[in-house]
Amino acid sequence: MKKLLSMLLASALAVSMLAGCGSTNEANTGADNGDATQSETKVYKVCNLVNGTLGDKSFFDSAEAGLNKLQEDGRIEYNTIEMGGTTEDQAKWQSTLDEVSRSGEYDLIVCGTYQMPDYLKNVAEQFPDQKYLIYDDTTYELPNVANLSYAQNDLGYLVGVYAGAMTTETSVEGINEDAVIGFVGGVDSPVINDFLYGLILGAQSSNPDIKIDTRYVNSYVDPAKAKELAESMINDKHCDIIWGVAGNSGNGAAEAALETGKAYFIGVDSDQELTFSPELAAITLTSGLKNIGNSLVWFFDEWDAGKEHFGEHTLLGMKEGGIGMVTDKNYDSKTPDAVKEKVNAAIEGISSGDIVVPTAIGNETDEVQQLRESVKP
């Protein structure tokens, strides 16, 4: 009897263990499938079209840095195609856009600058299922295109507050007695003049009597011409601080500041002090940051969170990290405390909304042009 009872108990235990194992395996299988689904993060295939060349140390390099960060983090795989920025190169822009769009291999095609919207519109309408992103442009609103723009007017205001105050600080070596600063723009266009609008107003807030020499290269890939313009600003108008907002061309203005030994340079888009040679870095006081790379990371953060911005114009300002200014290195060591206080007040004012800077984008009046003429040295 005892033997029979023992056998029955053993059998019951075995059945119980088998049932338990079956339940555990089924539960684990379900959990594994769920975890796999939850951990699967889409790796996007991206094509980055550069209507110029990398190495501009500002605009295109900033975008490239953001895409490179996304790839290093395992979020995208991307291919950059440098299409060139000369007049002759422009013939390739449309054909390259057509080719990569027709391939169907990319989840997103990225391009930028004011020169690309017409080319992009052609392909976006032809390939409605292809997703595109254009940074620094708001020309068209198309359902499959995300437009990212930046508050460069606010950025210009910050740089203006700084340059307008610094040019009066004659205790700083290399600053002369004339309150004159320079602006070397790529092209006389709304985006470039948005920088300029803010620059003039910011400089005037620091010094109502400030003079600003504005000249345009009419190219983003002609540093020799920018150097020539900057040399004239320095030698003829006594500019001691020049802001280059001209892509690769702007580097020529930095060279003029260095070679004359009579002026400082301010960079744009990325921290140009980090990318310049030691000699050019030494005369670069700061850089106004249009954080294109950061904005591309922000875009994919939004996309992964289910927030698509296709068919929208999205303006990124100081609150969103779209713009900023370098405040370490040369800025920190060369800038008097009184000037830093003015810049910090401007940052706080713009962030809080207490300072509202008008924009040249969509402004059909000639306010910017009139203001530009009124401050000529």
Per-residue pLDDT reduced to its tens digit, 278-315: 999 999 999 999 899 999 999 999 999 999 999 999 99
At residue 57, the pLDDT reads: 66
pLDDT 10s digits, 202-260: 999 999 999 999 999 999 889 999 999 999 999 999 999 999 999 889 999 999 999 99
Mean pLDDT of the chain: 89
What pLDDT sits at residue 114? 82
- As beta bridge partners, residue 76 has 44
The highest-confidence range among 24-28, 85-89, 327-331, by mean pLDDT, is 327-331
> Per residue in 203-217, pLDDT tens?
999 999 999 999 999
Is 189 a residue whose pLDDT tops 80?
yes
Q: Are 45 and 105 in contact (CB under 8 A)?
A: yes
C-alpha–C-alpha distance, residues 180 and 182, integer Å: 7
pTM of the model: 0.74
Q: What is the pLDDT of residue 37?
A: 39
With cut-offs at 50, 70 and 90, classify the pLDDT of residue 267.
very high
Q: Compute the distance between CA of residue 152 and CA of residue 133 in angstroms, rounded to an integer.
A: 19
The backbone torsions φ and ψ at residue 267, rounded to the nearest 5 degrees and listed phi first, read: -85, 180
pLDDT in tens, 4-36: 334 433 444 333 333 333 333 333 323 344 443
CA contacts within 13 A on the Cβ side of 258: 17
Residue 58: pLDDT band with limits 50, 70, 90: low
Of the candidates 78, 115, 85, 81, which has an alpha carbon nearest to the alpha carbon of residue 98? 81
